[in-house]
Amino acid sequence: MRNIFTFLLLCVMVSCEQEPLKFEKLVQFSRVDTISDNGRPYYFKTDVFIVKKYSDNYQNERSVDSFAYKNRAKDLAKYASYQVEIYKYSDKTNIPNLKKNPKDFDNYTFINDMIYIYRWSEGTWTSKMKFKGRETVEAEQMIKED
């Protein structure tokens, strides 16, 4: 009986263990825009990533926070605005599909698979937004650790 209990306990522990998240930069949609005002250029940068193995839970939110913070632009102060956008992996939100069908980004990915936006302004942290579908939902406070 004890062996059965031990076996069941091990099965539960293994099934609860979560695979680590995997991030890929979506280079084709990452960009730097420039706007000039009275001859002075202002730069606006966006880095876009897809995360695989994501499910909505506290541990994953912390992992995504940590990733966004560690992978932010090193030259933040150069940008009037900088943001990191995170999208969950799906049958349409993946690099091979978006290379073949770039319109899917605006027609599907942006609407259905956006999960986080992290923003900095002139080098200073400003906000984090969390999404479920088209709705903005309450997010945990951003952790800022290297």
Q: In this predicted model, what pLDDT tens digit does every residue of 70-126 receive, in sequence order?
A: 999 999 999 999 999 999 999 999 999 999 999 999 999 999 999 999 999 999 999
Q: Report the alpha-carbon angle 28-134-61, nearest 5.
A: 75
Residue 78 covered by a domain = yes
Enter the pTM of the model: 0.83
Residue 1 covered by a domain = no
Residue 38 covered by a domain = yes
Domain count, the chain: 1
Residue 125 covered by a domain = yes
Torsion of the alpha carbons at 11, 14, 93 and 143, rounded to the nearest 10: 140
Residue 6 covered by a domain = no
Residue 142 covered by a domain = no
State the residue range of the domain holding 40.
20-137
Token pair in block for residue 110: 């942006």
Residue 146 covered by a domain = no
